[in-house]
Amino acid sequence: MKKAIVATSAIISLVSTTVTYAAGEIVNVQPPTGKGIAANTGVGTVITNIINLVFIVAILLVLFMLISGAITWITSSGDKEKVGQARGRIINALIGLAILALAFLILNVAGNLINFNLSNLQLNPLNTPNP
């Protein structure tokens, strides 16, 4: 039991992060207002953040499906129907994960081919009118 506690605490200490603060002066920082998107935020940044959020939510859903499939499998008590349901759920979650990985790969490869960087879109800010 002591080995499990020591191993768990070692893993937690390795995974946890520490906060560091910069010693220099911060220039031109606007305080957050909590009222949506700042006026000088670029449209590309908003689109990039939305795409990243969609990927994060999808990965969390895949993780949830994997865990729920595993729990169903463990609690099936040998019932073939429940084991089949759990296996199907796990397989579907893995297929979803593969589709997410392919979508991410396609976005990055296609972006590199046409010189389009999805992680750093450079578009006009939201408050700049188009001529």
pLDDT at 86: 93
Q: Return the sign of the alpha-carbon dihedral for residues 17, 22, 28, 31.
A: positive
| Per-residue model confidence (pLDDT) at position 108 | 80
Beta-carbon contacts of 88 under 8 Å, excluding residues fewer than 6 positions away, are: 69
Query: Residue 10: its pLDDT value, please?
Result: 58
Comparing 12-16, 33-37, 40-44, 69-73, the range with the smallest average pLDDT is: 12-16
Band of pLDDT at residue 48, cut at 50, 70 and 90: confident
SS3 117: coil
Q: Provide mean pLDDT across the span 37-55.
A: 76
pLDDT of 58 above 80: yes
Average pLDDT of the chain is 76
Q: How far is CA 70 from CA 64, 76, 81, 101, 131, in A?
A: 10, 10, 14, 22, 56
Radius of gyration of the chain (CA): 22
Measured CA to CA, the distance from residue 76 to residue 84 in angstroms comes to 10
Phi, psi (5° rounding) for residue 59? -65, -40
Predicted pLDDT at 61: 95
pTM surpassing 0.85? no
- Weakest mean pLDDT among 17-21, 45-49, 74-78, 92-96: 17-21
CA dihedral 28, 34, 38, 42 (to 10 degrees): 110
